[in-house]
Amino acid sequence: MTRNRTIILCAALAFAVAAAVMAAPRAAGSIRGLFARSIFAPKSYDWVSRTMAACEEDAVTRPTTVNFLVVPLERSRRYGKELESRALESFGRTTLFGSQDALDGLKSGALRISAKNYVLLTLDTSNNATHRWNSASGVSRLTTTEIASDGPFKVRIQTAPDDVSADWSKVTADGRGTCHWAFALLRD
C-alpha cells in the first residue's frame, strides 16, 4: 500500500507541476496587467481637459457670468527645477502654472491634484472690488453673476485661516462669459 500511495503522490505532483507550467504565462500576463492598472501606473488626466472644455462651453452660453475653474496642485517627489522654471508666477503661498505646463506636470507625476481646502479671492482691477468665493477643495468650478464687470481680475488663493498674504497675482483674467483656468500649486 505504501508503494501505491507513492505512485499516486508522484502522479499528483507531476500533474500539479504541468498545470503550473501551462498556467504561468497567463498568470504572468495577469500580474503584469494588475500592476499596469495599479498605483504604479501613470494616471490619466484627460478628465481635467474635458472639464476645462465643458466649463468654457457652459460659460459661453451664459455671458453674464464670471467663471473660474481652480485646479489645486501639490508637488510629488518628481517635482523639480525644470517644472518650477515653467511657472507663470509665485505669490503668497501659491504658484500659478499655465494649463499645458500643469497638465504636463500631472501626466509626468511631478504634480498631483491637491485635496487641501482653499478660498479663491478675486480683485477686479477696473474698480478695485474684491470677491470672496466659497471654500472649496479639489478641482472646483466657481461661477457667479454678482460681478457686473469684465475685469481684468487678479487672483489670490487662501490656503489656511492663518494665511494673511496680501499678494495678488500679476497674471490677470479678462471678461465674463468665459472660463478662467487657475492651475495653482498650493504651498504650506
What percentage of the chain exceeds 70 in pLDDT? 78
Please give the pLDDT value at position 164: 73
User: What residue ranges do the domains of the chain occupy?
Assistant: 1-41, 46-186
Please give the pLDDT value at position 36: 41
Higher pLDDT pick, 188 / 74: 74
| Lowest pLDDT segment from 8-12, 79-83, 173-177 | 8-12
pTM of the predicted model, to two decimals? 0.75
Q: Residue 40 pLDDT more than 70?
A: no
* Mean pLDDT for all residues in the chain: 84
SS (H, E, C) the chain: CHHHHHHHHHHHHHHHHHHHHHHHHHHHHHHHHHHHCCCCCCCCCHHHHHHHHHHHHHHHHCCCCEEEEEEEEEECCCCCHHHHHCCCEEECCEEEECHHHHHHHHHHCCEEECCCEEEEEEEECCCCEEEECCCEECCEEEEECCCCCCCCEEEEEECCCCCCCCCCCCCCECCCCCEEEEEEEECC
Confidence band for 34, pLDDT divided at 50, 70 and 90: very low
- Per residue in 47-94, pLDDT (tens digit) is 999 999 999 999 999 999 999 999 999 999 999 999 999 999 999 889
| Lowest pLDDT segment from 108-112, 118-122, 171-175 | 171-175
| Lowest pLDDT segment from 60-74, 117-131, 153-167 | 153-167
